[in-house]
């Protein structure tokens, strides 16, 4: 059976510039919507994280005033998928040949750990070289920053991509005190960041790289990957 790998952060806390701890976790829709799309299309889905640590749910993604009226459905789907899968795969043990696509959901966790995870970086460099589909949504594109090759070059420099915008971070209330802002950091590293209206679905494809701007982009991004496989 064809398989897809969803790589989650292992972080449950985002330390702010004032030293305060902001609780984080996986964003339900960003995990559930791609999982639902891929499994409906006949793919098996594996989950991996640094050290195989299961990240908690970001409680903001279970609040309908923040995440919308469908959030309970996404929370239930994500919890069931993770429960059924069981212990997550440690990233260091992932074998790329097993997968047709790698998916990187958000929540703020990727800006805590995945952006500098060496095991993920090696996996993404190899995947990009092999033309494997790589998909990242919302804060998930922070994980792309880990993909530094043997020469010290960022694999995704000059590539077009979407990500949670600085405007959206400000609207969410987490821009002040953030150690760095994702869209700005991607541009600093050489990405061609493209953005759409705040909190509206917006996706970008650049070859085998598929990115979505925010939680609402999760399902559309997954469908674009499926259309390309």
The string of pLDDT tens digits covering residues 122-179 is 999 999 999 999 999 999 999 999 999 999 999 999 999 999 999 999 999 999 999 9
Q: How many residues would you count in the chain?
A: 229
pLDDT score at 170: 97
Closest listed residue to residue 170, CA positions, set 187, 152, 183: 183
What is the structure's pLDDT at 1?
A: 62
Question: CA separation (Å) from 26 to 63, 98, 109, 112, 144?
Answer: 14, 24, 7, 12, 17
66: closest CA among 16, 17, 22, 107?
107
Q: What is the pLDDT of residue 196?
A: 97
Structure token pair of residue 35 = 């999982």
**Mean pLDDT, 10 residues at a time, the chain of 229 residues:** 93 97 97 98 97 97 95 98 98 95 98 98 97 98 97 96 98 96 98 97 98 98 97
List the Cα angle 165/104/107 in 5-degree steps.
55
pTM of the model as a whole: 0.97
Specify the pLDDT at position 133: 98
């Amino acid at each position: 059976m064809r398989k897809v790998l969803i790589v989650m952060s292992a972080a449950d806390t985002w330390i702010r510039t004032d030293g305060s701890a902001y609780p984080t976790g996986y964003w339900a829709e960003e995990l559930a919507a791609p999982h639902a799309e891929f499994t409906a299309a006949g793919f098996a889905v594996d989950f991996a994280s640094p050290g195989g640590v299961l990240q908690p749910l970001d409680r903001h993604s279970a609040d309908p005033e923040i995440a919308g009226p469908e959030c309970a459905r996404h929370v239930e789907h994500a919890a069931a998928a993770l429960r059924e899968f069981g212990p997550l795969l440690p990233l260091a043990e992932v074998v790329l040949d097993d997968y047709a696509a790698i998916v990187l959901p958000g929540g703020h966790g990727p800006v805590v750990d995945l952006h500098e995870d060496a095991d993920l970086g090696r996996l993404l460099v190899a995947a990009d070289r092999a033309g494997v589909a790589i998909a990242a949504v919302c804060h998930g594109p922070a994980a792309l920053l880990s993909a530094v090759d043997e020469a010290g070059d960022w694999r995704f420099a000059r590539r077009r991509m979407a990500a949670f915008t600085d405007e959206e971070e400000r609207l969410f209330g987490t821009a002040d005190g953030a150690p760095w802002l994702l869209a700005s950091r991607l541009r600093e590293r050489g990405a061609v960041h493209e953005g759409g209206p705040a909190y509206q679905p917006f996706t970008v494809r650049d070859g085998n790289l598929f990115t979505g701007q925010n939680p609402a982009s999760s399902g559309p991004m997954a469908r674009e990957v499926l259309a390309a496989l």
